[in-house]
């Protein structure tokens, strides 16, 4: 199902085959930066944003090596979806990758945000043949479809064409059917429409829901590795530290990880306190590993003490909130 189509020391690209490939290309992307941010919740704040932007830059720098899309500065419409999508830094990545300076840049509120009614953030000046480029963490595809549908409606109204949609994301397969519906609609309405390019970072994860068989989870929020389609490099990276495959989510809260560090860290610590409680009840590392990441070899970790692992991780997470003091004389 995964076909390798590009590899360099910095970046691996795999194509997911078999679903409306003519108008909908799906890829899984792996890089050191995206593996770091998906594995290690201690990466947050500015460091999280840096790594997220770095992988988007790598993809754009190498896009012509594997994708049919030819991006143009005068056609680009960069969507910065507040507050999670802006951290992908697509405007900056396009400037660094191609030397662009005049590509259009628009800020929009996610529809789940109560401020989405702000008229200022709904104004668009569409290029004649629009190439929509954006990134976002998506756990509810309804909002994704809503944002794109608004632009389609506006393009029709103004007699513009939509040529491409390029999306970088951490998400699940749940976004694919709405995106296919968008692609089919665009194909019918815009003669210049070439398709959607969807880039999953490290994997097409699974969104935890009521029937997801995990002891610890946040339904409708957690992106988990159980039953996910993952880059081989990401699977291999799980062996680097034993807490990696036990994390509740590859992203935890996208709303707080970049900008509200105390709330974010509290969420992660609470999970690991729950893991410690499981250890006190007699659950072992091997049980939790098999439950959360069954397709890796637990023997490679040796004998792990779940209680000790949880306590060590909690201690490290608490240190994230200690401010660094730089005194300039």
pLDDT 10s digits, 40-89 = 999 999 999 999 999 999 999 999 999 999 999 999 999 998 888 999 99
Higher-scoring residue by pLDDT: 146, 190: 190
Integer Cα distance of 290 and 297 in angstroms: 9
**Would you state the pLDDT for residue 143?**
86
pTM: 0.94
Per-residue pLDDT tens for 140-163?
Answer: 898 899 889 999 999 999 999 999
SS (H, E, C) 54-104: HHHHHHHHCHHHCCCCCCCCCCEEEEEEECCHHHHCHHHHHHHHHCCCCCE
For residue 244, is pLDDT > 60?
Answer: yes
Mean pLDDT rounded to a whole number for the chain = 93
Q: Name the least confident of 124-128, 206-210, 224-228, 300-304.
A: 124-128
Average pLDDT over residues 288-306: 96
Tell me the CA distances in angstroms from 292 to 138, 194, 249, 270, 287, one per residue in order: 21, 38, 10, 17, 9
Q: Which long-range contacts (CB under 8 A, 24 or more apart) does 147-150 make?
A: 147/79, 147/81, 147/108, 147/110, 147/111, 148/182, 149/182, 150/122
What band does 328 get if pLDDT is binned at 50, 70 and 90?
low
pLDDT of residue 257: 96
| pLDDT at residue 118 tops 50 | no
Whether residue 327 has pLDDT greater than 70: no
- Please state, for a pLDDT cut of 90, what percent of the chain lies above it: 84
pLDDT score at 326: 65
Q: pLDDT digit string (tens) for 246-268?
A: 999 999 998 899 999 999 999 99
As to burial, measured by CB atoms within 10 angstroms (0-12 exposed, 13-18 middle, 19+ buried), residue 282 is exposed
- Look at residues 234, 264, 270, 235 and name the one whose alpha carbon lies nearest to residue 252: 264
The mean pLDDT value for 114-136 works out to: 74
User: According to the model, what pLDDT value does residue 18 have?
Assistant: 80
| Selection from 227, 172, 178 nearest residue 204 by Cα | 172
Would you say residue 299 has pLDDT above 90?
Answer: yes
Give the per-residue pLDDT at 112.
Answer: 52
């Amino acid at each position: 199902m995964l076909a390798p189509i590009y590899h360099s020391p910095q970046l691996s690209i795999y194509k997911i085959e078999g679903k409306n490939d003519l108008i909908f290309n799906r890829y899984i992307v792996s890089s050191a930066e995206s593996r770091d941010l998906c594995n290690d919740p201690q990466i947050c704040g500015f460091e999280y944003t840096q790594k997220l932007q770095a992988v988007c830059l790598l993809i754009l720098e190498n896009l012509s090596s594997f994708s049919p899309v030819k991006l143009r500065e005068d056609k680009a419409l960069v969507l910065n979806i507040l507050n999670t999508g802006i951290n992908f830094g697509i405007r900056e990545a396009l400037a660094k990758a191609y030397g662009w300076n005049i590509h259009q840049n628009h800020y929009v509120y996610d529809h789940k945000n109560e401020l989405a009614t702000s008229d200022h953030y709904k104004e668009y000046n569409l290029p004649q043949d629009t190439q929509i480029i954006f990134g976002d963490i998506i756990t509810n595809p309804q909002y994704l479809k809503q944002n794109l549908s608004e632009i389609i409606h506006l393009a029709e109204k103004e007699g513009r064409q939509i040529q491409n949609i390029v999306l970088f994301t951490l998400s699940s397969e749940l976004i694919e059917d709405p995106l296919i519906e968008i692609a089919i609609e665009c194909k019918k309405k815009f003669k210049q429409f070439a398709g959607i390019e969807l880039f999953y970072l490290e994997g097409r994860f699974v969104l935890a829901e009521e029937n997801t068989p995990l002891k610890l989870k946040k339904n409708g929020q957690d992106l988990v590795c159980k039953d996910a389609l993952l880059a081989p490099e990401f699977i291999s990276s799980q062996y680097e530290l034993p807490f990696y495959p036990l994390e509740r989510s590859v992203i935890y809260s996208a709303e707080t990880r970049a900008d509200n560090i105390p709330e974010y860290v509290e969420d992660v610590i609470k999970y690991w306190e729950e893991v410690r409680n499981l250890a006190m009840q007699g659950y072992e590392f091997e049980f939790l590993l098999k439950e959360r990441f069954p397709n890796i070899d637990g023997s490679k970790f040796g004998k792990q003490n779940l209680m000790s692992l949880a306590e060590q991780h909690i201690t490290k997470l608490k240190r994230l909130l200690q401010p660094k003091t730089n005194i300039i004389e």
